[in-house]
Amino acid sequence: MDKLVIDGGTRVRGRVRISGSKNATLPIMAACLLTGKECVLHQVPDLDDVKVMENVLAGLGASVKREASTLIIDPGSVNAWEIPEHTSRKMRASNLVMGALLGKFGQAKVSYPGGCAIGQRPMDIHLGGLRQLGYKVEECYGYIEGYFSEAVDSDITLDFPSVGATENLMMAAVISSRNTVIRNAAREPEIVDLQNFLNKMGARIRGAGLGVIRIEGVPELNGVEHEVIPDRIEAGTFMIMAAASRGDIIVENVVFEHLGAITSKVRETGAEVIAYNGGSLRILGNRKLGSADIKTMPYPGFPTDAQPQMMAFLSGVEGTSVMVETIFENRYMHVNELRRMGADIKVEGRVAILKGKSRLRGTTVEATDLRAGAALIVAGVSGSGETQIENAFHIDRGYEKIEEKLHSLGVKAFRIRD
């Protein structure tokens, strides 16, 4: 497995441009299945998870071509509705095609995505919602099989504002002779981007981002062109890295409104965040920084996907910080790795108590999942000495050209490929 080696003690300086959002791209790629016409997606990040979704669509019969950061998807010859088990298990988000296949073809078969490093990741909210939409959904031998049964007007309230369930239900409801309301829907910007994409295709959806989504069914959708929003978690990762390393950087291609919770927590530690017109911001960490308490919440609260990175940062500043991870039941896999770098962290269930120190020390650590890997980069850059991050492939799932971006900020980083 490959390693990412980072020479620590660097105050990051310079500019970094944020790529398109992985978590907006994946559902929008799935939504292309809802039309038989070609869709053109711009600002699509070249990530391993996006490649998996490209293969899912190709496996169903669609043609997918990449030209730089543009994807051209022609679903005209899609002639299958089953996602192979190894794909579902490889990437949970491949299950986002379930809603689109049901919405377009009235049938879908996917295997249970299974748990992962951060939690069990069940599908009960997805399946309960699909049944309320009038689909028959059966679960057997590790597979989920759904098919259209009857068109009904639906008014669904989700037990939890699940991002994936909200997206699957939107896609399953958009082509219909009936209307749908989804309450307690996820409010993430990626949901709004999906709504905008579907409405460009001819859908009639409103309320994304506000918690209640209203969908007026339409008979069909057209192929469109769309630019994916920038990746707010990648942007947050570099903001946290700048504060942690006491650096001074400009982050370009951001939507400032998507970064509210991260901005306010980075400012609470004493770092400065200055927003400029035109979608860029500056972070200065060159002051005495202190602790901050973090509780992850559904958007617009503090994003769980930035919790590991924040833990790496707060472990290296004087003071005690309390973190509560409310979204996933097992999202502290990075704690042991940070402890190997000298972090003083106690975990009790979903609560982590950090006793910050002046600085972490580089050593060999292991990335256990995507954002844990990002946390180890933050710790490696801001800590002293060399850090070797094993299983760096996890990082490539969500961070495009990570070495290049680190180099643009003055960080000495290179890859050792086994």
Catalytically active residues are: 116
| 394 scored as a contact of ligand EPZ (CB under 6 A) | no
Near ligand EPZ by CB under 6 A: residue from 33, 163, 251, 377:
163
For residues 327 and 271, what is the distance between their CA atoms, to the nearest angstrom?
Answer: 26
Largest CA distance in the chain: 63
Alpha helix segments (H runs only) across 60-187: 85-90, 97-105, 124-132, 163-173
Near ligand EPZ by CB under 6 A: residue from 170, 311, 341, 370:
370
Query: Considering only 103-111, 163-171, 270-278, 317-325, which stretch makes contact with ligand EPZ by CB under 6 A?
Result: 163-171
| 398 scored as a contact of ligand EPZ (CB under 6 A) | yes
Task: Compute CA 240 distance to the chain's CA centroid, rounded to the nearest angstrom.
Answer: 17
Give the chain's length: 418
Residue located via tokens 């994936």: 164
Residue among 100, 66, 65 at smallest CA distance from 80 = 100
Near ligand EPZ by CB under 6 A: residue from 14, 119, 209, 270:
119
Q: What are phi and psi of 121, to 5 degrees?
A: 55, 55
Near ligand EPZ by CB under 6 A: residue from 33, 125, 208, 261:
125
| 126 scored as a contact of ligand EPZ (CB under 6 A) | yes
| Residues numbered 307-336 forming contacts with ligand EPZ, rule: CB under 6 A | 327-328
**Half-sphere CA count of 366, side-chain side, radius 13 A:** 5
Q: Which two tokens stand for residue 364?
A: 């060999």
Query: Considering only 114-122, 254-262, 315-323, 383-391, which stretch makes contact with ligand EPZ by CB under 6 A?
Result: 114-122
- Taking the complex as a whole, how short is the minimal distance between the CB of residue 269 and ligand EPZ, in angstroms? 22
| 87 scored as a contact of ligand EPZ (CB under 6 A) | no
Residue among 145, 194, 148 at smallest CA distance from 167 = 194
| 160 scored as a contact of ligand EPZ (CB under 6 A) | yes
For residues 320 and 322, what is the distance between their CA atoms, to the nearest angstrom?
Answer: 7
Kindly tell me which of 326 and 364 has the beta carbon lying closer to ligand EPZ: 326
| 93 scored as a contact of ligand EPZ (CB under 6 A) | yes
| Parallel, antiparallel or unpaired: strands 13-17 and 248-252 | parallel
Q: How many residues bind ligand EPZ (CB under 6 A)?
A: 26
| Residues numbered 252-311 forming contacts with ligand EPZ, rule: CB under 6 A | 304-305
For residues 47 and 232, what is the distance between their CA atoms, to the nearest angstrom?
Answer: 15
Residues that bind ligand EPZ (CB under 6 A): 22-23, 26, 92-93, 119-126, 160, 162-165, 186, 304-305, 327-328, 370-371, 398
